[in-house]
Structure 1
Amino acid sequence: MKINTFLSTLLNVNLVLGGRWTQKRRETRAANARRFPEAFAPEHVPRLASNGTARIHSSRPLSVIDVAEKAIESRNNESHTTYSANWAGALLVGSGYTAVTGTITVPTPTGANAATQSAGAAWVGIDGGTCSQAILQTGIDWYVTNGQATYDAWYEWYPDYSYDFSGITINAGDSIRMTVLASATTNGAAHIENLTTGKAVSQAMTVSSAAALCETNAEWIIEDFESCDSSGNCPQVPFANFGSVTFTQSLAVQGGTTVTPATGSGLQVLDLYQNSQVLTNCAVSGETVACTYV
């Protein structure tokens, strides 16, 4: 899979849309609650819970757990695995990361019990691992309510919240390609394409220096994200059993050179660890990042 075509498309989107922040958008931004109002100028409203409750969803930077304290190294004897409270997948650590892409097949998740809504997300992004001040990311969420799964496609430039794409639908079994591009540390774009339906959406973003990228991380992630209420309380959502998710055709641009998760600098394989349990088993091979719920 060639990354150049997608990066050229995203760059054109970014150049065309980057200057179109109208008065209406500024009014919309001012009307929405923000933890970091100085950082971001979005077009759409924040994502709310799929059941309609007034909760705003947000990713968070990588939260690493000390495996020595948790005494779980003997589980698989993989010294290169990093355990996290919120991320699973693959993280590259280096410099000059300006684009990331990957393709997944949408899973059919299940919930822990019928009375509780559970959720999760799959996304690609730049930064948020060793650089915690910003994340440029895009991907999909899944929610399980009363045994039924629903899906959203979204984009985010952390520390702002995430925002839903309109004009695209996601269903179990669909093939979804997700891509982010940083044309500068404060300018970028997100692109989601449903390869099954042929629909695609893009969003250009501009932020202030308060949310500038470091461009030191590229990642392909399964996340237990946060759900924030109007009081600013942001607990993690109950994490759904996603079965398995595999990122294929996973590529990043580092210093102008295309790399894979296996060939990029500073690879860290991440697994989720919560409540004294390892919840995922992730592995990297070439252009593939495969994660299984365990």
Structure 2
Amino acid sequence: MLFDSTSNFTNEILIVGTARNVQSTIEKEILNLNLEFSKILSVKILIVESDSNDETIKVMQKLREKLQNFNFISLGSLENQYPDRITRLRHCRNVYINEIRHNTLYSECGLVAVIDLDGINTCLKSENIIAALNLNLKWDGIFANQLGPYYDILALRHAHWNPQNCSKQIQFLSQYMPWKRAKKIAVWDKMIRIPATAPPIPVISAFGGLGIYKRWVFESNDYSVDGVDALEEIDHVTLHRKATVQNANFFIIPSLINSKWNDHNLGSINIVRYARYVLYKRRRPITQAFFRYLKNKITTS
């Protein structure tokens, strides 16, 4: 047992996530997450898939054969039923919540890690996970940081950093300035670099590709829309807002590094945004290839 017995931890964690068209990233990411978490905890993994038209399901079938603790649920095509992406994600995430609550395979999992499977979680290390779990901190959910700028502004709610829906802020500002400038103010300029040595940052909501939660958060709350305001916020914010009403404590843990530079935070660099516009958006094959090469060099350095 790695944790203080008064913390209501068990030594089992369930890793959950959603998947669509992630054939190129999911195997490597699942194997790495399983490796790092298994060094400190007993691990089970459950992925909810929908709407893939690549080889994602075949890759997951192979993973299920390779890993006894891995399973997935495929929901087939949901796009006609739920045309809106966030609405589909809410539905898929509520499927894994139902499994957490009712599947006896996961009844002993006192911790739940929610992950993205788009290649974000490439730098996660067991020593950083255990250090975060053992912080002298009363927490109900902890979220990852990146060596590059913290990117997940859509999921972020913080009284001073990002107190509101950045999409609504863009809509408001773009009435008085060009849309690109509005997005720079509402999103890109908020992507700040947080030193790994910084203290935990209390938040109302965050994500950043990895969140580790106490089980009760999912037993008492879900991702379903609960009012007009929820229609304009993303799924993570809805869950966290509901849990915060129940006095949940959420933190970004700066030392819990899961990524360096990635597709998201590269946009915080002015020259990269300009290059994307000039080289990529004009759809010239040679410049597209050059930009992909440049992006890969930056993200793997």
The TM-score with structure 2 as length reference comes to 0.25
Larger Rg: 2
As a proportion of its length, which structure holds more helix?
A: 2
The structure with the largest strand share of the pair is 1
Query: Which structure has the higher relative contact order (CA within 8 Å, separation 6+)?
Result: 1
